[in-house]
């Protein structure tokens, strides 16, 4: 297997819908005309749920959606009318990620808004978020942990952390992409998160230097040549800046590792997502900048994330 494919495999990119040239025909063959709401069928439109579910699932399955029934249920629940359901199915059959059709994703049990063109939070990032929550919860009693979600996308990690940690947090997030920043602002407003736009650390208030207890950075880490191998959903509907990590996938992580020691409080932690094939190099990167590191595994025992810690005393 090529290094690019190996990196992709460990990055856990799921295959979801396969766009099809036949999508128009596909949708209309499964949605002839909405007979269940016609004059002779005056029941509320969702009442014919079994047949409707079967029709929607069949359309999704034919377009290559692996979890067609689950997706069909979600689309039916979300749609406010038969017309809207048909539009949702058309978009999904055309390859738009499910979360972009729905406008939300579930992450660590939290529902986060996902705007068009924003990176969809992945299940494989949940171990990182849980570890960040554990570390934030363990900060000294009486302190208010300072948490930064750098490269925040929707802000899903910060939102999950705020929901999981049962103590006040000072929450910041930042992203280079203004569309992601808008989305993160929506997701973090209710938990008092402040969201900034800009290139990595330059986006953050200077006053945070040396004070950050938990610095999360789920940076883009797909090697450039592996972008072409991503599912069309990612390639076509997620911005390149959210995916492309440069030649070996670690360009942005290198910059984060270099900057982190100046922003972390003594004893503070940097958490990044890594794939199995990048873990060793990522640990070396952290060591090059005086950070000690350990790997975090998911429930299957696969490498999911890396925690790098600024020593309490430099030495």
Ligand X SMILES: C[S@@+](CC[C@H](N)C(=O)[O-])C[C@H]1O[C@@H](n2cnc3c(N)ncnc32)[C@H](O)[C@@H]1O
- The residues that touch ligand X, with contacts defined as CB under 6 A, are 119, 121, 125, 151-154, 156-157, 175-177, 180, 199-200, 218-220, 241-242, 252
Q: 29-33: long-range contacts at Cβ-Cβ below 8 A with a sequence spacing of 24 or more?
A: 29/59, 30/55, 30/56, 30/58, 30/59, 30/62, 30/89, 31/55, 31/59, 31/86, 31/89
The nearer residue to ligand X, 75 or 151, going by C-beta atoms, is 151
Q: How far is the CB of 252 from ligand X (least distance, A)?
A: 5
Quote the least distance from Cβ 175 to ligand X, whole Å. 4
- Shortest distance (Å) from residue 129 CB to ligand X: 8
* Least distance (Å) between residue 97 CB and ligand X: 12
Among 29, 108, 125, 114, which residue's Cα sits nearest to residue 78? 114
Residue 119 near residue 242, CB atoms below 8 Å: yes
Least Å distance, CB 68 to ligand X, is 25
Q: Find the DSSP H helices in 11-125.
A: 23-30, 49-62, 68-78, 82-93, 98-102
Using the minimum distance from each CB to ligand X, give the nearer residue, 199 or 297.
199
DSSP annotation string for 267-313 = EEEEEEE--GGGHHHHHHHHHHTT-EEEEEE-TTS-EEEEEEE--SS
- For the bound state, the minimum distance from the C-beta of residue 128 to ligand X, rounded and expressed in Å, comes to 8
d(C-alpha 101, C-alpha 114), whole Å: 9
Dihedrals phi, psi of 188, to nearest 5 degrees: -110, -5
202 by Cβ neighbours in 10 Å (0-12 / 13-18 / 19+) ranks as exposed
The nearer residue to ligand X, 157 or 212, going by C-beta atoms, is: 157
Instruction: Between 27 and 242, name the residue whose CB sits nearer to ligand X.
Output: 242
227 vs 241, which CB is nearer to ligand X? 241
Q: Measured between alpha carbons, how far is 23 from 173 in angstroms, rounded to an integer? A: 39
Q: Which is nearer to ligand X, 119 or 263 (CB)?
A: 119
CB 68 within 8 A of CB 61: yes
Minimum CB distance to ligand X, residue 45 (Å): 34
Which is nearer to ligand X, 175 or 233 (by Cβ)? 175
Q: How far is the CB of 302 from ligand X (least distance, A)?
A: 17
CB atoms within 10 A of CB 241: 14
Q: Which residues neighbour 177 within 8 Å (Cβ) at sequence distance 6 or greater?
A: 118, 197, 239, 241, 242
- Residue closer to ligand X by CB (options 89, 219) is 219
Other beta carbons within 10 angstroms of residue 294's beta carbon come to 12
Residue whose CB is nearest to ligand X in the complex, by number: 153
């Amino acid at each position: 297997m090529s290094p690019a494919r190996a990196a992709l495999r460990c990055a856990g990119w799921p295959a979801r819908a396969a766009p099809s040239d036949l999508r128009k025909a596909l949708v209309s063959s499964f949605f002839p005309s909405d007979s269940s709401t016609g004059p002779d069928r005056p029941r509320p439109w969702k009442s014919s749920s079994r047949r409707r579910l079967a029709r929607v699932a069949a359309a999704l399955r034919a377009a290559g959606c692996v979890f067609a029934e689950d997706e069909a249920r979600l689309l039916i629940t979300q749609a406010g009318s038969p017309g809207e359901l048909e539009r949702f199915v058309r978009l999904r059959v055309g390859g738009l990620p499910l979360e972009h059709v729905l406008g939300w994703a579930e992450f660590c049990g939290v529902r986060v808004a996902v705007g068009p063109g924003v990176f969809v939070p992945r299940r494989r990032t949940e171990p990182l978020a849980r570890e960040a929550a554990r570390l934030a919860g363990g900060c000294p009693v009486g302190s208010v942990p300072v948490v930064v979600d750098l490269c925040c996308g929707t802000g899903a990690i910060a939102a999950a952390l705020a929901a999981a940690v049962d103590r006040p947090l000072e929450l910041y997030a930042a992203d280079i992409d203004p569309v992601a920043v808008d989305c993160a602002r929506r997701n973090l407003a209710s938990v008092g998160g402040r969201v900034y736009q800009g290139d990595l650390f330059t986006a953050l208030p200077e006053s945070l230097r040396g004070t950050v207890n938990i610095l999360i950075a789920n940076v883009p880490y797909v090697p450039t040549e592996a972008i072409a191998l991503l599912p069309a959903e990612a390639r076509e509907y997620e911005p390149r800046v959210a995916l492309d990590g440069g030649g070996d996938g670690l360009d942005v992580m290198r910059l984060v590792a270099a900057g982190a020691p100046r922003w972390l409080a003594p004893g503070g932690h940097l958490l990044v997502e890594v794939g199995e094939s990048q873990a060793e190099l990522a640990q070396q990167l952290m060591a090059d900048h005086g950070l000690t590191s350990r790997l975090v595994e998911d429930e299957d025992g696969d490498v999911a994330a890396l925690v790098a810690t600024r020593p309490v005393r430099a030495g």
